[in-house]
Amino acid sequence: MSTTDLRQRFLFPDSDIRGEIVRLNTSVAQALQARSYPLAIESLLGEAMAAATLLTGTLKFEGRLSLQAQGQGDLSLLLAECTHDSQIRGLARTRLSDTASDTGSTSEQPPMAARLPALLGDGVMAITIAPERGARYQGLVPMESDTLAGCLEGYFTQSEQLPTRLWLAAGNGHAAGLLIQVLPEHTGSADHNAHIWETVTALAGTLTMEELLTLPVETVLHRLFHETPPILSPADTVRFGCTCSRDKVRGTLLSLGTDELQTLLSEQGEARVNCDFCGNEELFDAVDLGQLVHESTR
């Protein structure tokens, strides 16, 4: 298995059918190191990170795409973000015990076959696109499928009106995804596009999750589409990237106000703040807190 995290885009000749395949190894492992998750949540977080990476491939500008689900069930938050330059991060917040198994069917751990609705409970999911310049856009993802891939397919059908198929897989600290989509352009005829779409989605449906996770990207594409070989764009390297910084933590502490900062200084003598995404810890000792108290009174 390649240790390089990448996204490979491709286009089927003389048609308006495009695709992407993404393979995440190091970046998912780094996200999982920051927190301890039950196995079912690890898998779902990996799928979300793969999905966010695939969806970012549709951006035509500099910015960030976030896939976020919130619920009242055992999974309260699922968040994956990817930038236009392929920096990915993700996290989950859960009420499940860290030792729960992903194969059980007890009330504490729903079976994987129904993991998304069962884990989220009464949940909502949204895709948020935040350009570095311009207005943010948010679209709600219909929660009408048992799987993340199925929900996202529904989003593209209803909101974007772009026929889209998604296959996601995750496990053992790795994640992968395959997307095939009809573009709004009109390079090919309607009949030709329909034929290519039917053919390539049927072929993609024969791919096993193990093959998607473990085989080299070139091998996957050749096995599936050797009779209608796609045109490949240069592959993008994907990497884990967190936006946390000491300055951001400092701003958060200042926002607490003078009274709360003074209480923190008197009772704790320091503040330790950990990033939920990467696990990095920032320490503000008594001198640092004293300076923040002084600044907050200005």
pTM score of the predicted model: 0.84
Q: What pLDDT score was predicted for residue 104?
A: 40
**Residue from 205, 234, 198, 241 nearest 217 by CA:** 234
Inter-CA distances, 105 with 146, 149, 169, Å: 16, 22, 21
pLDDT tens digit string along 269-289?
888 888 878 777 788 888 888
Q: How confident is the model at residue 8 (pLDDT cuts 50, 70, 90)?
A: very high
pLDDT tens digit string along 54-63?
999 877 778 9
For the cut 90, the answer to whether the pLDDT of residue 295 exceeds it is no
Q: What pLDDT score was predicted for residue 59?
A: 77
Query: For residue 30, what are its two tokens?
Result: 């780094």
Question: Which domains are present in the chain?
Answer: 6-240 (3.55.30.10), 246-296 (3.90.1280.10)
Tokens 């920032």 belong to residue: 282
Q: Indicate the range of 49-58, 68-77, 244-253 predicted with least confidence.
A: 244-253
State the chain's mean pLDDT as an integer. Answer: 86
